[in-house]
């Protein structure tokens, strides 16, 4: 199955929050490891009921790039993506926020958890607590992991010196 | 906005296969009344105002390559259909590959839909029309007699809620074979197929 990223005209894709804020937490949730999301979900004071609007599923998404960020678009290749869409139950009518989770790889539960937290984060009552308790630590952990990896790579860095190229 | 998204199939592969099988039977045995059974699929809710069969057919057959036209009555269901299938919505009937009609009284002329070409008669529109009722429940409806491929001798089908003038339209649609549109009639969980090869007369 090939995924198409929800386009901006679909009402489902309209963000309830300023896009930057939502993009920030969706990115943090997608990059988090599943265990920390599972723990955060378990530690929630009250876990809401939810139903799947779209069952968690695995598919392919085309990754596109631009040479130098400005050139012609080209297809880099396809990557495996797991996604899920949930709606949180709220009140007797049961029409809460809709959350989307798109996660690299094949971890369906990770996608489901990311979707659940995306739905919760759209709720003004939950957002401050979740941002402080979940998103900020996730971002910090991701930044630390990145720094550690950069440092490890830096240690093995080899400098190459090339002669002036012949045709120039 | 969130209320407009309804859950898709809980078992996407199984439910889509069961629905596809039903559509295949409906179109190969025109006028045969079928009941779609998605009983194990408890999570599935057809988006209002569509019935179970119409919604299941849409979810099974639509994708990003099938332009969809919805009549004004079925517009409330379009956010869900776009979300689940990714089908592009079109404004005019003639550019649609599939058409959803929830209010048959306002059905545009069948000639308004894409009938395919003589070279590619398969590139035509399929209409999913939600009628009021079929069979014994269709009291006060029209009793149709069907003949043609897939029907031994003749088959009768009672339908309530077909628009006035549908039979005349259908005769014109049948006459331009191999071009023409195919119709799937639905009512709740029931469906019956009317491929372009079928001759319809009123009893």
In whole angstroms, give the CA distance from residue B38 to residue B7.
Answer: 14
- The predicted-structure confidence for A60-101, as pLDDT tens digits, reads as follows 999 998 888 888 889 999 999 999 999 988 755 556 889 999
Q: What's the Cα-to-Cα distance from A112 to each of A29, A50, B80, rounded to whole Å?
A: 11, 11, 19
Q: Give pLDDT, residue A5.
A: 54
In whole angstroms, give the CA distance from residue B177 to residue B173.
Answer: 7
In whole angstroms, give the CA distance from residue B50 to residue B56.
Answer: 9
Residues B18-57: b if buried by 16+ CB within 10 A, e if exposed = bbeebbeebbebbbbbbebebeebebbebbeebbbbbbbb
| A65, two tokens | 């790039």
Confidence of residue A4 (pLDDT cuts 50, 70, 90): low
In whole angstroms, give the CA distance from residue B55 to residue B46.
Answer: 5
- The predicted-structure confidence for B64-83, as pLDDT tens digits, reads as follows 999 999 999 999 999 999 99
- The predicted-structure confidence for B81-119, as pLDDT tens digits, reads as follows 999 999 999 999 999 999 999 999 989 999 999 999 999
- Listing DSSP states for A78-129 in one string gives EEEEEEEEEEE--TTTT---EEEEEEESS-HHHHHHHHHHHHHHTSTTTHHH
Q: Is the pLDDT of residue B28 over 80?
A: yes
Q: CB count, 10 Å around CB of B160?
A: 16
For B46, name the nearest residue in chain A, comparing CA atoms only. Answer: A53
Where on the phi/psi map is residue B63: left (φ > 0), alpha (ψ -120 to 50), or beta?
beta
* Pairwise CB contact (< 8 Å): B83 & A10: yes
- The predicted-structure confidence for B136-186, as pLDDT tens digits, reads as follows 877 888 899 999 999 999 999 999 999 888 999 999 999 999 999 999 999
Q: What's the Cα-to-Cα distance from B108 to each of B49, B55, B62, B142, B165, rounded to whole Å?
A: 19, 21, 21, 19, 11
- B133 has which bridge partners? B160
Confidence of residue A136 (pLDDT cuts 50, 70, 90): very high
Which of A55, A96, A97 minimises the CB distance to B10? A55
Phi, psi of B36 (to 5 degrees): -80, 125
For A57, name the nearest residue in chain B, comparing CA atoms only. Answer: B12
With an 8 Å Cβ cutoff, the interface of chain A facing chain B consists of 4, 6, 10-12, 14, 51-55, 57, 85, 87, 95-98
Q: How far is A129 from chain B (nearest CA, A)?
A: 23
Closest CA to B181 of B128, B104, B119, B106: B128
For A5, name the nearest residue in chain B, comparing CA atoms only. Answer: B86
Q: Give pLDDT, residue B147.
A: 95
Task: Work out the mean pLDDT of chain B and round it to a whole number.
Answer: 91
In whole angstroms, give the CA distance from residue B151 to residue B149.
Answer: 6
Closest CA to B74 of B65, B96, B64: B96
Q: Give pLDDT, residue A7.
A: 43
Residue scoring higher pLDDT (A60 or B4): A60
Closest CA to A36 of A128, A123, A107: A107
Task: Work out the mean pLDDT of chain A and round it to a whole number.
Answer: 85
Which of B11, B64, B79 minimises the CB distance to A12? B79
In whole angstroms, give the CA distance from residue A94 to residue B57.
Answer: 26
Helices and strands in chain B, H and E counts: 4, 10
Q: Give pLDDT, residue A143.
A: 93
Contacts of B186 (CB under 8 A, 6+ apart): B51, B53, B54, B57, B128, B129, B130, B131
Q: Are B50 and B102 in contact (CB under 8 A)?
A: yes
Strands, sheet with A73-88, edge to edge from the N-terminal-most edge strand: A50-66, A73-88, A98-104
Residue scoring higher pLDDT (A3 or B150): B150
Taking residues B31-40, report their average pLDDT. Answer: 85
Taking residues A109-129, report their average pLDDT. Answer: 92
Collapsed DSSP state (helix, strand, coil) of residue B183: strand
Q: Give pLDDT, residue B3.
A: 53
* Pairwise CB contact (< 8 Å): B7 & A12: no
Confidence of residue B10 (pLDDT cuts 50, 70, 90): confident
In whole angstroms, give the CA distance from residue A99 to residue A116.
Answer: 6
Q: Give pLDDT, residue A70.
A: 85
Q: Give pLDDT, residue A13.
A: 47
Which of B2, B79, B82 minimises the CB distance to A95? B2
């Amino acid at each position: 199955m090939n995924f198409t990223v929800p386009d901006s005209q679909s009402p489902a894709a309209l963000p309830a929050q300023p896009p930057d804020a939502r993009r920030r937490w969706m990115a943090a949730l997608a990059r988090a490891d599943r265990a920390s999301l599972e723990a955060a979900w378990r530690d929630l004071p009250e876990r809401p009921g939810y139903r799947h609007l779209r069952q968690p599923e695995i598919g392919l998404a085309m990754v596109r790039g631009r040479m130098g960020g400005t050139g012609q678009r080209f297809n880099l290749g396809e990557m495996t993506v797991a996604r899920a869409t949930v709606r949180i139950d709220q009140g007797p009518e049961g029409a809460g926020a809709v959350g989307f989770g798109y996660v690299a790889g094949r971890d369906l539960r990770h996608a489901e958890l990311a979707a659940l937290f995306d739905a919760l984060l759209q709720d003004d009552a939950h957002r401050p607590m979740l941002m402080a308790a979940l998103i900020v630590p996730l971002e910090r952990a991701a930044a630390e992991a990145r720094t550690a990896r950069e440092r490890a790579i830096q240690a093995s860095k080899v400098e190459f010196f090339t002669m002036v190229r012949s045709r120039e | 906005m969130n209320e407009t998204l309804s859950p898709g199939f809980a078992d996407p592969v199984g439910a889509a296969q069961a629905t596809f099988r039903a559509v295949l039977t409906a179109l190969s045995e025109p006028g045969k009344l079928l009941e779609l059974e998605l009983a194990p699929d408890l999570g599935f809710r057809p988006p209002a105002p569509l019935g179970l069969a119409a919604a299941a057919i849409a979810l099974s057959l639509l994708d990003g390559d099938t332009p969809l036209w919805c009549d004004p009555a079925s517009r409330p269901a379009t956010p869900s259909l776009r979300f689940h299938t990714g089908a592009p919505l079109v404004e005019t009937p003639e550019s649609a590959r599939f058409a959803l009609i929830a209010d048959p009284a306002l059905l545009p002329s069948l000639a308004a839909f894409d009938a395919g070409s003589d070279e590619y008669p398969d590139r035509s529109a399929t209409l999913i029309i939600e009628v009021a009722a079929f069979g014994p429940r269709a009291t006060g409806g029209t009793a149709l007699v069907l003949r043609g491929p897939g029907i031994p001798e003749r088959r009768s089908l009672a339908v309530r809620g077909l628009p006035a003038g549908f039979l005349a339209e259908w005769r014109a649609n049948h006459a331009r074979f191999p071009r023409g549109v195919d119709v799937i009639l639905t009512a709740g969980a029931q469906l019956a197929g009317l491929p372009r090869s079928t001759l319809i007369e009123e009893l």
